[in-house]
Structure 1
Amino acid sequence: MDTAATPIVLITGTSSGIGLAAAVAAARAGYGVVATMRDTGRAGALHRAATEAGVDGRIEIERLDVTDPESVAACLDAVLARHGRLDAVVNNAGAGFVGTIEQDGMAPVRAAMEVNYFGVVEVTRAALPHLRATGGRVITVTSVGGVVGQPFNEAYCAAKFAVEGFMESLAPVAATVGVHVTVVEPGAVASEFVGNQALDLPALTAAAGPYAPALEAYIDRTLKAFGQAQTPEAAAEPIVAALTAERPPLRVQTSETARAFAGTKLADLDGSAVRGMTGAWVV
């Protein structure tokens, strides 16, 4: 990789899904990609995809745990030592959680915030001095769940709402020093709902107590929605567009379905439209 001529992007959470697809797509677009993951032993799928796409020479694998500031600092130090620059960060690493507060307590809420919110903030904070030097970009994969609160996703949506607020607030400040900020909002993406969360659905409903009927209705509806989900490759396209656009938008959805879903909230001043929509998911 010719570092002097190649822009460098660091992408978190690249072992599967959108992160993996974004790493391959960014390499195809001419970026040198530092593809990070907490467990580099899970890099096999990315290596295979990069080889099949003919871009394995543009992708490097690095260990990064977004919940560990020392890991974040070590990864960025390695990138700067090797390449001398950083042109963009894509905050993609995250974890879902399905449950409700009365039954599950505070631990899942704290865990969701650590990965989905504080991890994003830490990586962004550490990267900003280097992005200022290159007039770079912060691109963060949030979710339509960062716009519309969804049943049994209290912890996850709270974290994604926090990310949306953080990035929307940071954007005008970062712009004064030449850094663009974009949030990318996917809807349902194939394989993520059950596969990436390792859900034991019978155990989940058995532990739901008085909320079991509502949870069963929610799961039934959501599994059907994920049956029509967008592919990770399609969801990654707006990420690469935000990397390459002269003036990337602050907010972009990854599909027409996601745009319509987010639009319901943005036009819903009294909350009745959202409440009516999501209320139907649990009956």
Structure 2
Amino acid sequence: MKTWLITGCSNGLGRALAEAVLGHGDQLVATARNADMLRDFEHRYPEQVRIAELDVTHPETAVRAVAIAQEAFGGLDVLVNNAGYGMIGAIEEGSAAEYRPLFETNVFGLIEVTKAALPALRSRGGRIVNVSSGAGISGSAGYGYYNASKFAVEGLSEALAQEVSPLGIAVIIAKPGPFRTAFLGRSVVLAAKELPTYAQTAGMKRQYSKRNDGLQKGDPAKAAAVILKAVNSDKPPLHLPVGAVVFDIIDNKVATLKHDADAWRGVASHTDFEPALYFETPID
């Protein structure tokens, strides 16, 4: 039996994963900015679950949630950094008031929760699941700010994995594609400024979000089952694509990288200093 702490359990993938964890018989500290949205977990799983208010932009709430896990269940085995949201808009359209809070939640909040949980995880050699996205693999017009936040999660997680692996902790970067959650609805911010210049690029993402909200093919319960299986694996993957779309994104990204590297290798790889030439001075 493992003890989990999951951020962002009020809806979407976080709620689906909470259901999967509790259905598996594990223990859970379920968190959300509004803990009242999680009361049903207490009624259905009174022995297995504790709920806590956790706003990732307020580090002290993460410290309290970890303390609850230790007090109620004696420790912590798995941290899932799931809380986050999206933003759609061209780079020129986005304002600091829109993109800075995005990074506070998706990147800096994840960092603070991880730091709060690491001492407890070290004592058990646990797992950290950082929820990235297919958008953390390849950038696309209209998702630039969201791409940047998830690229940051990817790089941070790869470095973290190397730091904590000797301590017995495994890091999993979950990369879900489009799943039927609130991501295209209330979990995404549209840049207030909309410039006609970008109607056929970033503007297409605005239209996509309106047309596809609630119609995504992905089943969050199936995504949760994949993550649960990875966490319980003896050799969990560092990179965990979730959904067929993400495998296509990876294949395209690898092909593009290889194409550009092959095309420019002969020119761009020869950038070292030339070897110094030494001459022996004859001694009289």
- Which TM-score band (shorter chain)? 0.7 to 0.9
C-alpha deviation, 1:125, in angstroms: 1.2
CA deviation map 1:83-123 (0-9, x unaligned): 22101101100011111232222222211111001111111
Counterpart check, 1:30 vs 2:18: no
Structure 1 pair 245/197, CA: closer, same or farther in 2 (3 Å)? Answer: same
Checking the alignment, whether the CA contact within 8 Å between 2:126 and 2:169 is kept in structure 1 is yes
Q: Paired residue for 1:275?
A: none
C-alpha deviation, 1:232, in angstroms: 1.3
Q: Paired residue for 1:84?
A: 74
Residue 27 of structure 1 aligns to a residue whose secondary structure is: helix
CA distance in 2, matches of 1:225, 1:198: 13
| Structure 1 counterpart of 2:225, from 201, 220, 237 | 237
Checking the alignment, whether the CA contact within 8 Å between 1:142 and 1:184 is kept in structure 2 is yes
C-alpha deviation, 1:55, in angstroms: 4.5
Checking the alignment, whether the CA contact within 8 Å between 1:265 and 1:271 is kept in structure 2 is no
| Structure 2 counterpart of 1:167, from 140, 148, 157 | 157
CA distance in 2, matches of 1:214, 1:259: 23
Q: Paired residue for 1:208?
A: 195
Q: Paired residue for 2:249?
A: 261
User: Which range moved further: 235-244 or 163-172?
Assistant: 235-244
Q: Paired residue for 1:180?
A: 170
The code of the aligned residue for 1:21 comes to: A
Q: Paired residue for 2:279?
A: none
Q: Paired residue for 1:196?
A: 186
The code of the aligned residue for 2:249 comes to: F
Structure 1 pair 199/69, CA: closer, same or farther in 2 (3 Å)? Answer: closer
| Structure 2 counterpart of 1:13, from 3, 8, 12 | 8
C-alpha deviation, 1:81, in angstroms: 2.0
CA deviation map 1:1-24 (0-9, x unaligned): xxxxx4210000000000000001
CA distance in 2, matches of 1:271, 1:132: 41
CA distance in 1, matches of 2:6, 2:188: 23
CA distance in 2, matches of 1:167, 1:89: 13
- Structure holding more helix per residue: 1
Checking the alignment, whether the CA contact within 8 Å between 1:193 and 1:223 is kept in structure 2 is no
CA distance in 2, matches of 1:65, 1:42: 14
Q: Paired residue for 1:63?
A: 53
Checking the alignment, whether the CA contact within 8 Å between 1:143 and 1:185 is kept in structure 2 is yes
Counterpart check, 1:158 vs 2:153: no
Structure 1 pair 198/243, CA: closer, same or farther in 2 (3 Å)? Answer: closer
| Structure 1 counterpart of 2:37, from 35, 42, 48 | 42
TM-score, length basis structure 2? 0.83
CA distance in 2, matches of 1:8, 1:228: 31
CA distance in 1, matches of 2:116, 2:33: 17
C-alpha deviation, 1:255, in angstroms: 1.4
CA distance in 1, matches of 2:163, 2:256: 28
Counterpart check, 1:120 vs 2:102: no
CA distance in 2, matches of 1:191, 1:182: 21
CA deviation map 1:190-216 (0-9, x unaligned): 14343233667xx95x73343234344
Checking the alignment, whether the CA contact within 8 Å between 1:28 and 1:55 is kept in structure 2 is no
Structure 1 pair 210/241, CA: closer, same or farther in 2 (3 Å)? Answer: same
Residue 134 of structure 1 aligns to a residue whose secondary structure is: coil
Counterpart check, 1:218 vs 2:205: yes
Residue 135 of structure 1 aligns to a residue whose secondary structure is: coil
Matched residues, number: 259
What are structure 2's unaligned runs of at least 5 residues?
261-284
C-alpha deviation, 1:65, in angstroms: 0.8
Structure 1 pair 271/184, CA: closer, same or farther in 2 (3 Å)? Answer: farther
CA distance in 1, matches of 2:184, 2:94: 18
CA distance in 2, matches of 1:178, 1:171: 10
Q: Paired residue for 1:249?
A: 237
Structure 1 pair 198/141, CA: closer, same or farther in 2 (3 Å)? Answer: closer
